[in-house]
Structure 1
Amino acid sequence: MKIAIVGTHQVGKTTLAQAVHAELQDYTLLQEPYHDQNEAGIPTADDFIQQFNYSIKQVNTGNDRVIFDRCIIDILAYLHAVSPTLNIQSFFTQAQTAISTIDLFIFIPIEKPDIVTSSQVEMPKLRQAVNDLLIEWIDDMGIDALVVRGDIQLRLATIMNKLAGSAV
């Protein structure tokens, strides 16, 4: 089973990915391409294109027992948010093809009230823009995402209950 954890920055994706991996130790946890590629600073559109291509390769590998800490759709949302005039149709098409191979999407939206205080949020406008795009695109693409909220224990319990009904 391929599991993708989706959401904007500072919503707890990495913490949740690590918790899921602790429960599913025979799975491989792939960190988000931003960290894998050792990027520094605020990424540009070119950086997100590079991350997008890297993410496509990760999803298309033969590993079927994998947890993705960030997914193609996240990166595409960041690309669109930082460069809204860029034509992303070809990326969108590639994303839809790769997304079809992922078995479970776990979406962590920004919560209301936000669990991260406004003084702690890095790039709050970008964060909100990506969150809004993800909500829209998950619906537009017909992705059946498991939405998780609350503290880490509640999020993990929601996921493990879902997986208990699936062949993991």
Structure 2
Amino acid sequence: MRIAVSGTHRSGKSTLIEELSDLLPSYVTVDEPYHQLEEEGYAFATPPSVEDFEAQLARSIANLEDDARDVLFDRCPVDFIGYLLAHEDCDAFDVDAWLPRVRRALQKLDLIVLVGIERPDRIALSASEDEELRLAVDEKLKELLLDNPYALDVEVLEVEGALRARAKQVLEHLPDASR
């Protein structure tokens, strides 16, 4: 199966990917586009600009073009649409121009695992974290993936609880042959 783990920053995505990688040793893990681009020398603005998120969106789409099976993706194109729609300069982002490419890319996924912010929040944040953006992106992702206003046509599993509980929810959702 091809599984993407989606969520706002500091929601537990990468930790869940690590846990799933241990539990599914035949799966390959694809790092999130931010880290891929950073390793290649891409210089992100602080805070990231619309162009920075569009670069990550393009990389996320490209990551899905490979047909390899049994892959865990840290993020998917919907993550970056969420960030772009929550960005202070969101008017500079044309979601309609990206949707055909995003829909085609998402067809290559079998499942998106949504890791949302829980109440109470399980993740401790530093004083420098942008809590307002984090909450706005979480809300956008839930809208995009659960309400599906753009007809993205992908299966979504929203997980909650402690790390082991989240991993168990994902494993229980997989066909036996995928484990």
Task: Indicate whether the TM-score tops 0.5.
Answer: yes
Q: Unpaired runs of 5+ in structure 1?
A: none
Confirm or deny: 8 A CA contact 2:110 2:154 kept in the other structure. no
Match of 2:66 in 1: 61
- 1:29-48 Cα offsets, whole Å, 9 max, x none, are 01100111115542111111
Rounded to whole Å, the distance in 2 between the matches of 1:134 and 1:49 is 16
Any residues of structure 2 matched to 1:99-138 within 5 Å, and which? 99-117=106-124, 119=126, 122-138=129-145
Alpha-carbon deviation of 1:20?
Answer: 0.6
Secondary structure of the residue aligned to 1:93 is helix
Structure 1 stretches of 4+ moved >4 Å: 118-121
TM-score, scaled relative to structure 2 = 0.86
In 2: Cα distance, 1:119 partner to 1:54 partner: 28
Partner amino acid, structure 2, of 1:160: L
Distance in 2, matches of 1:20 and 1:73, equals: 21
1:52 alignment partner, one of 54, 57, 62: 57
Q: In the aligned structure 2, how far is the partner of 1:7 from the partner of 1:81?
A: 13
Q: CA deviation at 1:92?
A: 2.2
- Structure 1: how far apart are the matches of 2:27 and 2:138? 27
**1:147 aligned residue (130, 133, 158):** 158
After superposition, give the CA deviation of every residue in 1:87-140 in whole Å (9 maximum; x if it has no partner): 221112211221122001100111011112455671111111111111111121
The answer as to 2:90 corresponding to 1:84 is yes
Q: Distance in 1 between matches of 2:27 and 2:126?
A: 35
What does residue 167 of structure 1 align with?
177
Q: Matched residue pairs, number?
A: 167
Q: Is the 8 A contact 1:76 1:92 kept in 2?
A: no
**TM-score normalised to the size of structure 1?**
0.91
